[in-house]
Each structure stands twice: as structure tokens, then as C-alpha cells.
């Protein structure tokens, strides 16, 4: 079981529109990506996005949209709703979903559950119960390979919760009520690992705010908690501590600012970076006027306890000039070769991509693109064989050379198929 209870905002998708269930009514939002990003940035532990497609064409478009969402946010995505065969489960997972639910009201989905679990792992398969009566068969769904049980029943009764609490399984339950007391009553059931929020109000969208209320009610939720109290920080003469801010994806230094105790505490409770302005002598929320918020990923204290390193998800520009980083003026520089693995991969990928977009006569890369996918695959296969042969040689230098050749040809394939290194690293991170 999880160490903390989860808050999972949910909405459906049909014809690229978000469909949000609010007290039995549906309403629509055109921008699914913005909605998902908002929930993710504001403390959602996971998202549940239901595929409500009514045609095969819409189903394929929804999968493409799920892929866009998965690329844009870090929050795990649960999806399902339009599963007819194992291929649909695979498409959802390949689009970036962390798990797929199967609606047990469809006998075909129950029959599919074991096959899907064996193929992709039980942690990626959830059983979706649209009525309380299906609780009688929970043991069967678990034996078939479901790792969690989703209960989608409006207004669960106390007797229903008691029944769920007596079943040895991990449950996620839908909650149409935005009252923290109701959510608390659900989450106090030991077997309930999280609630799926269907009301799209500001409180539910901003899970960090709701978590603070639940925390006050004794519910263990995932919030920012400092391992070192403010009083142990080594502050400057003004009672402030400097904060070095980096982009959590790229490690680019974005800015340096200062915090007082209030700013530090506000940062922890909201999940958004707050600072103290030395010029204005006041607290300020980064992005309050510009919309360029910084969402906290981690806060670290240096060995002298006198500087904080903040890793953030930066929305828009960090600098008031409109630049991504405040550090854009080069004072002095010596040419050097980066050995950062991902940067090297991205740089080589960029050169290959440029060759495809701007062909250069005599370029081997352009020769591969001109010959097409069959030639690229043939060379990739040859390089795989070369790695195998080189591995029989005790000298590791030959292996390094062959692996480098293979990676180059692999990147040619990636560019040809429009797959980025970020796509690959995101996929690996989800495994």
C-alpha cells in the first residue's frame, strides 16, 4: 500500500474536448492539454483520463492527444474506456499511460484482463467497477491480474465503504463531492488508496490546497515537508537565505532570489515558489503578475545550510526581460566539449535532424535518408551484428566504437520516425 493517499482529478475525452462530470452533468472544455497541465502543476498525484470516443477515428485521435499530454506533464496517467482488444491496451500504454483500466461490465474486458496483465504487468492493469454489485467479484479480478480496483459509484454509502474496507485489495474510489469531510471519510478507509475527483472546481483542481485541508484532518497526503526546520538555516544579516533556481529537466540555472521564513513556508504549502523582494521589502509569488509560475520539484540545502537549491518546472520565462534564464550575458568563455551524455545525444540528434531538413551534398546522413527506411534498418541491423562480434573481443575499445556507430544509426531512425530523446527518456521513466 502507498504511504500516502492520492488525489486523482479526472475527465473524459471525446473529439479532442475534455468532458468533465460535475454532479451528474457534463460540461466541455476545449483545451485538454491546459487542463491536464493545471491539475499536474497544482499537486495532482495522478490523472484519470477516460477515452469516450464513439468512432475508431476519434479513438485514434484521442490516443494521439494522450501522447501529447504524457509528453507535457510528469504526473502518471490512468486511462481506458475504449478497450476492445489487447491492441487498445498496448496503444494506451505506448501513448504514455502508466496504467489502463478495464470496465468489468463488459465480459470481453474481463476475459482480456489476464492476457493484458501477463503481457504488460499487473501494475499496469486496473479493474473498473461501475456498480457496487461488482464488489462480489473483486477476488476474481485480482486473480486475473488487476493490481487495483476502481469503484465509480456516485455517493457511496457508509455501508459501501464498510464493505470496501473489508476487502483485501487496493481501491481508488470516485468522489463527486467537493466537501473535504466527504473526501476524508473515503480516505480513512484503509484499503482506499485514493479518491478520483470529478468536480472541476478550483479547490479540486488545486490539489495542493485541498491536501492542506486533508492534512489538517489527519489524512496522510503527499505534501512538501522540510527535513530541516527554518531555525537551523544559516541566514544572512537581513534574515534571508539565497535560493539558486534550476530547471528540473535541463538543470539550466534560471535565477537567484531570496526567501524569508514566510516565503519558505508559502512555497512548501502551495508547491509554487515564493520569494522575498529586497527592493520592495515584501513577499512575492513568482508569476503572480506574469503567469510565469515556478512549480516546485525539489528543494535542497547546501552543506553550510546557507543556500537553497530549487529544482522547478518553469512556466514561460524566468527572467523579467522575457529570457528563459536570467543568466544570458556571457562575460568570458573558453571552447570546450561537453561530456554530458544526454546533451551529446541531443546535439548529435540535432545535427541529424538539420541534415534531414537542410540536405547537404555528399552527406552520409542524407544518403541514408534518400535511400529510405529499408536502408536505415539494414544499416541498423548490421551495426547490431558488429556489436555482438566486438563483444567477443576482450578489448573494450572496439565495443565502444561499434556501440557509437549503432547509436548514430539509431538516431537516424529516430529522426526518420519523428521520435525524440525526450520521448525515449519519458518512456523509460514510466517503466
C-alpha cell at 298: 525539489
Q: Are residues 166 and 274 in the same domain?
A: no
- Mean pLDDT over 372-396 rounds to 92
- Beta-bridge mates of residue 282: 277
Lowest mean pLDDT among 64-73, 280-289, 371-380: 64-73
* Mean per-residue pLDDT, 169-184: 89
pLDDT score recorded for residue 227: 95
For position 18, what pLDDT does the model report? 87
* 430 band by pLDDT with thresholds 50, 70 and 90: low
* Residue % of the chain over a pLDDT of 90: 78
Task: Flag whether pLDDT at 226 surpasses 80.
Answer: yes
Q: Domain span at residue 389? A: 341-429
State whether 47 and 152 are in the same domain.
yes
Note the pTM of the prediction, 2 decimals: 0.81
Residue 128 placed within a domain: yes
Residue 398 banded pLDDT, cuts 50, 70, 90: confident
Choose between 173 and 177: higher pLDDT. Answer: 173
Assess whether pLDDT exceeds 60 at residue 107: yes
**CATH code for the domain of 279:** 3.10.20.810
**Reported confidence tier of residue 429, pLDDT bands at 50, 70, 90:** confident
Radius of gyration of the chain (CA): 25
- pLDDT, mean over the chain: 91
pLDDT at residue 367 is higher than 90: yes
Domain's final residue, options 189, 216, 243: 216
Q: What is the mean pLDDT of residues 285-302?
A: 95
- Same domain? 85 vs 206: yes
Mean local confidence (pLDDT), 6-16 = 92
Q: How far apart are alpha carbons 196 and 148 in whole angstroms? A: 13
pLDDT at 199 over 80: no
Model pLDDT, residue 203: 47
For the segment 362-383, the average pLDDT, to the nearest whole number, is 95
Answer yes or no: is 322 within a domain. Answer: no
Please check the confidence at residue 240 and state whether its pLDDT lies above 90: yes
Q: What's the confidence (pLDDT) of residue 184? A: 95
Quickly state the pLDDT bin for 30 (edges 50, 70, 90).
low
- Quickly tell me which residue has 473498473 as its cell: 128
Question: Are 409 and 380 spatial neighbours (Cβ–Cβ below 8 Å)?
Answer: yes
Who has greater pLDDT, 26 or 45? 45
Asked if 310 and 359 sit in the same domain, the reply is no
Is pLDDT of 1 > 60? Answer: no
pLDDT, residue 335, reads 74
Residues 77-96: what's their mean pLDDT?
A: 94
pLDDT of 201 over the 60 cut: no
* Predicted local distance difference test score (pLDDT) of residue 270: 94
Same domain, 352 and 379: yes
Q: Is the pLDDT score of 23 beyond 50?
A: no
**pLDDT bucket at 192, cuts 50 / 70 / 90:** very high
Q: What is the mean pLDDT of residues 316-322?
A: 93
Verify that 403 and 306 share a domain, yes or no: no
Q: What is the pLDDT of residue 16?
A: 87
Same domain, yes or no: 28 and 136: yes
pLDDT of residue 363: 94
* pLDDT tops 70 at residue 157: yes
**Grid cell 472544455 in the structure block, residue:** 29
Number of domains in the chain: 3
Domain at 51, CATH number: 3.20.20.70
User: What pLDDT sits at residue 155?
Assistant: 81
Query: Do 212 and 77 fall within a single domain?
Result: yes
User: To 10 degrees, the CA torsion angle through 322, 328, 329, 332?
Assistant: 180
Amino acid at each position: 500500500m502507498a504511504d500516502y493517499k492520492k488525489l486523482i482529478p479526472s475527465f473524459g475525452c471525446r473529439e479532442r474536448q475534455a468532458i468533465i462530470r460535475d454532479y451528474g452533468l457534463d460540461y466541455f472544455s476545449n483545451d485538454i492539454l491546459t487542463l491536464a497541465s493545471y491539475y499536474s502543476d497544482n499537486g495532482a498525484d495522478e490523472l484519470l483520463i477516460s477515452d469516450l470516443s464513439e468512432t475508431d477515428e476519434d479513438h485514434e485521435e484521442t490516443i494521439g492527444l494522450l501522447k501529447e499530454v504524457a509528453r507535457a506533464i510528469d504526473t502518471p496517467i490512468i486511462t481506458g474506456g475504449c478497450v476492445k482488444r489487447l491492441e487498445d491496451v498496448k496503444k494506451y500504454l505506448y501513448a504514455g499511460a502508466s496504467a489502463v483500466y478495464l470496465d468489468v461490465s463488459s465480459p470481453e474486458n474481463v476475459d482480456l484482463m489476464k492476457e493484458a496483465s501477463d503481457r504488460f504487468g499487473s501494475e499496469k492493469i486496473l479493474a473498473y467497477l461501475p456498480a457496487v454489485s461488482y464488489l462480489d467479484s473483486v477476488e476474481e479480478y485480482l486473480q486475473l491480474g488487476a493490481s487495483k480496483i476502481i469503484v465509480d459509484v456516485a455517493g457511496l454509502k457508509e455501508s459501501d465503504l464498510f464493505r470496501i474496507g473489508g476487502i483485501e485489495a487496493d481501491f481508488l474510489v470516485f468522489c463527486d463531492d467537493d466537501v473535504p469531510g466527504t473526501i476524508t471519510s473515503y480516505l480513512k478507509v484503509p484499503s482506499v488508496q485514493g479518491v478520483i475527483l470529478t468536480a472541476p472546481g478550483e479547490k479540486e483542481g488545486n490539489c495542493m490546497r485541498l491536501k492542506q485541508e486533508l492534512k489538517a484532518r489527519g489524512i496522510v497526503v503527499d505534501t512538501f515537508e522540510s527535513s530541516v526546520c527554518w531555525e537551523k538555516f544559516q541566514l544572512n544579516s537581513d534574515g534571508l537565505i539565497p535560493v539558486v533556481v534550476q530547471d528540473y529537466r535541463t538543470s539550466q540555472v534560471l535565477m537567484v532570489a531570496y526567501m524569508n521564513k514566510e516565503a519558505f513556508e508559502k512555497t512548501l504549502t502551495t508547491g509554487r515558489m515564493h520569494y522575498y523582494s529586497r527592493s520592495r521589502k515584501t513577499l512575492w509569488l513568482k508569476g503572480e503578475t506574469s503567469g510565469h509560475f515556478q512549480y516546485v520539484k525539489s528543494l535542497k540545502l547546501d552543506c553550510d545550510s546557507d543556500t537553497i537549491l530549487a529544482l522547478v518546472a518553469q512556466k514561460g520565462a524566468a527572467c523579467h526581460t522575457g529570457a528563459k534564464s536570467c543568466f544570458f550575458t556571457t562575460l568570458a568563455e573558453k571552447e570546450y566539449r561537453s561530456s554530458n551524455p544526454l546533451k551529446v545525444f541531443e546535439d548529435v540528434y540535432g545535427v541529424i535532424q538539420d541534415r534531414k531538413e537542410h540536405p547537404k551534398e555528399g552527406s552520409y546522413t542524407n544518403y541514408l535518408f534518400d535511400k529510405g527506411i529499408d536502408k536505415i534498418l539494414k544499416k541498423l541491423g548490421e551495426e547490431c551484428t558488429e556489436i555482438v562480434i566486438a563483444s567477443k573481443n576482450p578489448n573494450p575499445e572496439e565495443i565502444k566504437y561499434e556501440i557509437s556507430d549503432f547509436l548514430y544509426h539509431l538516431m537516424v531512425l529516430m529522426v526518420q520516425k519523428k521520435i525524440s530523446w525526450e520521448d525515449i527518456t519519458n518512456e523509460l521513466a514510466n517503466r
